[in-house]
């Protein structure tokens, strides 16, 4: 039976649907179960409220503005956009704080579009994609190693990214379930190779509450083109990161403030002109 949703294309993606999917995946996400002490809650929540109080005083916030804020906060929840809003505007500071003492490869934000349990493609494979997948073919490979340079066989490299139009599978209609999502297991030499297409810059979903605050502030909603990765190996700390492309748009004005100079790739044309290729090695700190 064909439904109206089945007939939609990826360009019909809407913030409310994307937000609902992000919220659903977040709720399904495994939690650490770590207890948070009353003292810790009091310290962090108290400091956050004090900072907000200072902003209200500094900018002489009016009741009309206060009511607009309440209405907007309600709309963020109704649109299911809290994961989107927090991951765009807050997560980069959490990541920076959590990883400030970590050695090895630099981390970056996970973002709201991660989905676990993507297909495993071995040490050398092609991400699931449509027969006519648009975009420049990209061969992306490297070695996963420990901080002393020892290759790590059996490491897991999860890779996911937007397509050439800037949309993610499972968050936009019309895309196959695992489109441009996959996991790799490094070989005995710690090496992996992923065959995919180069993603495009994209605007975060902006026809909902998150987009409303962006428009009201006169900001743009663009993220530079990037690859998402989670790299893990036994006895080592898992790293979540993103890799960007040299010369790409919005590297210096990423709405999510997640770019870092150490995470920029410089692909080169393949010898047979069939696309581009690039190598990036991942160094994991001991657990």
On whether residue 105 sits in a domain, the answer given is: yes
C-alpha distance from residue 192 to each of 159, 184, 185, 231, 286 (Å): 11, 7, 7, 11, 20
On whether residue 44 sits in a domain, the answer given is: no
Q: Provide the CATH number for the domain around residue 152.
A: 2.60.130.10
Residue 27 has pLDDT above 90, yes or no: no
The model's pLDDT over 114-151, given as tens digits with 9 standing for 90+, comes to: 999 999 999 999 999 999 999 999 999 999 999 999 99
Please name which of 66, 177, 67, 166 lies closest in space to residue 130, comparing C-alpha atoms. Answer: 177
DSSP state of 46: H
On whether residue 61 sits in a domain, the answer given is: no
On whether residue 208 sits in a domain, the answer given is: yes
Q: At 5, is the pLDDT very low, low, confident or very high (cuts 50, 70, 90)?
A: very low
Mean of pLDDT over the chain: 93
Q: At 12, is the pLDDT very low, low, confident or very high (cuts 50, 70, 90)?
A: confident
Kindly report which listed range (12-16, 22-26, 235-239) carries the lowest average pLDDT score.
Answer: 12-16
Can you give the pLDDT at residue 32? Answer: 57
Name the most confidently modeled range: 3-7, 17-21, 283-287: 283-287
Stated pTM of the model = 0.91
Q: How far apart are the first and last CA of the chain?
A: 50
Give phi and psi for 78, each to the nearest 5: -65, -35
**pLDDT higher at 20 or 171:** 171
On whether residue 68 sits in a domain, the answer given is: no
pLDDT above 90 covers a percentage of the chain that reads 86
Residue 6 has pLDDT above 90, yes or no: no
Q: Which residues pair with 82 in a beta bridge?
A: none
Q: At 4, is the pLDDT very low, low, confident or very high (cuts 50, 70, 90)?
A: very low
The model's pLDDT over 28-76, given as tens digits with 9 standing for 90+, comes to: 775 655 678 999 999 999 999 999 999 999 999 999 999 999 999 999 9
Can you give the pLDDT at residue 284? Answer: 98
Can you give the pLDDT at residue 214? Answer: 96
Give the mean model confidence (pLDDT) for residues 215-225: 97
Please name which of 201, 190, 113 lies closest in space to residue 144, comparing C-alpha atoms. Answer: 190
On whether residue 49 sits in a domain, the answer given is: no
On whether residue 276 sits in a domain, the answer given is: yes
Residue 250 has pLDDT above 80, yes or no: yes
Report the domain count for the chain.
1
Let me know: does 198 contact 267? Beta carbons within 8 Å: yes
Range of the domain at 156: 97-284
Which residue's structure tokens are 């900001």? Answer: 219
Can you give the pLDDT at residue 3? Answer: 39
On whether residue 45 sits in a domain, the answer given is: no
Give the mean model confidence (pLDDT) for residues 157-175: 96
Helices 209-217, 82-89: inter-axial angle, 10-degree rounding? 40
Give the mean model confidence (pLDDT) for residues 202-223: 95
């Amino acid at each position: 039976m064909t439904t109206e949703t089945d007939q939609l294309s990826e360009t019909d993606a809407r913030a409310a649907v994307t937000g609902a999917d992000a919220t659903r995946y977040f709720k399904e996400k495994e939690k650490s179960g770590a207890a948070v002490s009353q003292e810790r809650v009091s310290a962090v929540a108290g400091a956050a409220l004090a900072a907000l109080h200072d902003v209200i005083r500094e900018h002489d916030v009016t009741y009309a503005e206060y009511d607009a804020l309440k209405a907007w906060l309600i709309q963020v929840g109704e649109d299911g956009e809290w994961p989107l809003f927090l991951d765009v505007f807050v997560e980069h500071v959490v990541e920076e704080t959590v990883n400030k003492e970590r050695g090895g490869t630099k981390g970056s934000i996970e973002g709201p579009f991660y989905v676990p349990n993507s297909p495993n493609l071995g040490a050398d494979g092609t991400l699931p994609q449509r027969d006519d997948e648009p975009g420049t073919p990209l061969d992306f490979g490297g070695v996963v190693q420990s901080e002393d340079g020892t290759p790590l066989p059996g490491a897991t490299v999860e890779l996911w990214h937007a397509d050439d139009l800037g949309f993610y599978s499972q968050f936009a209609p019309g895309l196959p379930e695992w489109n441009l999502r996959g996991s790799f297991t490094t070989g005995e030499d710690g090496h992996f190779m992923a065959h995919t297409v180069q993603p495009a810059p994209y605007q975060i979903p902006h026809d909902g509450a998150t987009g409303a605050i962006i428009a009201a502030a006169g900001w743009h909603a663009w993220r530079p083109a990037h690859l998402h990765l989670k790299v893990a190996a036994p006895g080592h700390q898992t790293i979540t990161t993103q890799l960007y492309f040299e010369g790409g748009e919005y590297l210096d004005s990423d709405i999510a403030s997640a770019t870092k100079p150490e995470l920029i790739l410089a692909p080169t044309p393949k010898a047979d002109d069939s696309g581009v290729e690039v190598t990036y090695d991942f160094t994991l700190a001991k657990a």
